[in-house]
Structures are given as C-alpha cells and as structure tokens.
Amino acid sequence: MASIAVEQPPSWRPVFGRAAMLAGVLVALCLLWEGFKWFGETTGLKIGSFVVNDRTFPHIHDIVGQLFEPSRRNGPLLIEVLWDAALFTAKEAAVGFVLGASVGFALGVLLAHSRLLQRGFLPYIVASQTIPILAIAPMVVVWLGGRGFPDWFSVSVIAAYLTFFPVTINTLRGLTSVDPRALELMRSYAASPLQILWRLRLPTSLPYLFAAFKIAATASVVGAIIGELPASIQDGLGGAILNFNQYYASSPESLWATNLIAAALGIAFFLAVVIVERIVVKRAPEHVA
C-alpha cells in the first residue's frame, strides 16, 4: 500500500534559535566594549597615543542615543539623516554589486572553458586587486564624469571593482569542480557546451557562487562608501563619515553612530544574499523530487 507523504508545517525553531544567537552575540559585543572601556579607564590604559576615554570609546547607550538627537541645531534627527544617506549608498552599492557580479560571472564562465585564457588573464585579474582602491577611485570619477555619467554611477563602478574578483574566482572554481563522470555522461549524450553549463556546471557551482556573493555584497558597500570620498558626494554614508569626522572632538558619538549604520547596511546586503540563496538552492534541480 503506497504511503502518502504529508507535508510538515514549517518549523520556527531554527528561526528563533538564530535570532537568539544573534541577540546573544550583540549582547556579548556590547559587554566586551563596555568591559574594555571600564578596564581602560580604571587602569589608565595607554597604547602609544591612544587613550581609552569617552572620546575614543563612547558608551554604547550614548552612541545609540545620538541617533535620536538632532543632527544640527533645529535640524532633523540624526537617524533620519543617516537613513537617507544609507538609502543613497545602498543604491550605489546595489548597482555596483550587480555590475561586478555580472562581469565576474561572465569572466569565470569564459575562463572555465579555456585553459589558454586562464593562463593569460588570471594573473592580471589577481594583480588588479593589489592596486589600492583609493588610487584608482579619483581616476574612475574623472574619466566617467567627463563622459557625462552621473557621479553616483562612478561610485558604483568603484564598488564593482571590489565585487568582481571574488565572483570571478569562485565561479571558475565552481564550474571546474564538476564530477568528470557526469561531464563524460553529458558529452556522451551529445550535450552542447551551453546545456552542460546550464544543467551540470551551474548547479554544481551554486555553493561557490553564493559564497562569493556574500563576500561581494559587503564589499560593494565598502566600495561605495570609499568611492564617495573622491567623488565629493555628500548624500551618502561616505559624505556623512567625512562630515562627522570633522566634529569628532566635540561629538564622537555622531561618527560612531554613522559607522553603526554603515555596518547595518553591510549586514542587510549580506542577509539579502542569504535569503536569495535559500530560495535558489531549494529550487535547484538536485533538490526537486
């Protein structure tokens, strides 16, 4: 007698477990911060010219509380200013991520199908990451700006520069990690290179791809923030960091609050990739009955 499979309702225990773990990590980091601050102030800890005090190590509650204080006299709250700045930087980072991931994936596919191209281009792709981003950022801004592109797109290209490398390397690694027996079987059925890529190589490379996407997602945020500095863009988080850095002596909490929002934006990009990974991997051919 055939058994009937009954679909089990989704369990929320893993979700609650991860949420509790995240909360525990945040609490532990806050305790570590406050503990180091207390230890440094009590013992008069001094590392070179670095001294632990309210200027270098503000209290966590002061940093969070600063978000709900006016950013300037009779101005909007700091969290409102940083929210708008985060949205602007998120647009630049998202475009940079898509652009860099697309270029990186295309390069990975191209290199995976040609040993000659691997030997010829891979050393230059690796060497491209040894160039400091601050050295090429002004050139990208000037070059693209002179051709009529908006400044924010120049920042996206800078973010793409940091994004394409991990995607290229992991795409190449994933596409070339297929089982040789499965590859021979596909060829014995006269499968075209495109069919082999779509039905065999790409599903095999998904873990490598999403590992690269997670790295690239956070790198795109870093690239966007760094790229805003030479582009003289004041609407994003890079401009906010530069602005509040000038007033660090009188209001260090504002700069730390900006760093907190920048970190939250990077985490949001990472979580977005994780959600897409869950959806795509679940629907991959090997998971379909």
d(CA 211, CA 232): 33
Residue 95, pLDDT above cutoff 90: yes
Count the Cβ atoms, other than its own, within 10 Å of residue 229: 19
21 or 282: which carries more pLDDT confidence?
21
Mean pLDDT of the chain: 85
Residue 228 reports pLDDT greater than 80: yes
CB 209 within 8 A of CB 176: no
- Alpha-carbon distance values, 93 to 203, 222, 237 (Å): 27, 8, 11
| Residue 118 included in any domain | yes
Domain residues for 98?
A: 78-287
pLDDT confidence of residue 289: 37
Q: Tell me, yes or no, whether 276 lies in a domain.
A: yes
Q: Is residue 51 part of a domain?
A: no
Residue 236: other Cβ atoms inside 10 A: 27
User: Over 50: is that where the pLDDT of 1 sits?
Assistant: no
Asked, for residue 273, whether it belongs to a domain, the answer is yes
Domain-embedded: residue 163: yes
Range with lowest mean pLDDT among 85-99, 110-124, 174-188, 273-287: 273-287
Confidence grade of residue 133 (pLDDT, cut at 50, 70, 90): confident
SS3 265: helix
Residue 178 belongs to a domain with what CATH number?
A: 1.10.3720.10
Asked if the structure places residue 16 within a domain, the reply is no
Q: Look up residue 5 and give its two tokens.
A: 């499979």
H or E stretch covering 46:
strand 46-47
Total number of domains in the chain: 1
Least confident of 4-13, 17-26, 251-260: 4-13
pLDDT of residue 15: 64
Residue 55 covered by a domain? no
Say if residue 85's pLDDT is above 90.
Answer: yes
Percent with pLDDT over 70 in the chain? 92
Q: Is residue 27 part of a domain?
A: no
